[in-house]
Amino acid sequence: MTAPIMPKSDAADLIVAARIRQGLKWSDIAERIGAPVVWTVAALLGKHPVPADKATMVVEMLGLGEGVTESLIQQPTRVADDAAATDPTIYRFHEALAVYGPALKELIHEEFGDGIMSAINFKVDVSRRPDPDGDRVVVTFDGKFLDYRW
């Protein structure tokens, strides 16, 4: 009888701890596996399935076990808020933040330290970027960093 696959949240906890112990930045890991940094963080926090070759590289790099590799490869379960499901555009923003929010938080803390992005002194912009595969919607959130002061 085989053991059940490790929950993605458990694998994410092991990855975060190993990354910190080894003094690696998320960008170091992304560069080594040849993937965009925000995608890498989101995937390693359990929001995307990781291709087997990249999962193996991460696990070897961090000195973790095969159970983490199996967990990373699995398709995640993404749960949406029912209230966000009423409008397709609003839902996509909700989905994007559900998937990438934890990764963006990690990257903000890594780059700026302990604090938050303010939504009070905040700018937002929407623009169109032409692309051969279909125009792209570019949304920019521009918030002031507020460090925690104890």
- Please give the distance of CA 112 from its chain centroid, rounded to a whole number: 17
Is 127 among the residues known to form the active site?
A: no
| Residue 92 annotated as catalytic | yes
Catalytic residue among 27, 32, 95, 110: 95
Catalytic position from the list 31, 66, 78, 118: 118
CA dist 54 and 72 (Å) reads 9
Our answer to whether residue 31 is catalytic in this structure is no
Exactly one of 9, 60, 78, 92 is catalytic; name it.
Answer: 92
* Residue 84 CA: distances (Å) to CA of 79, 80, 125, 148: 11, 7, 21, 31
Residues marked as catalytic? 92, 95, 118
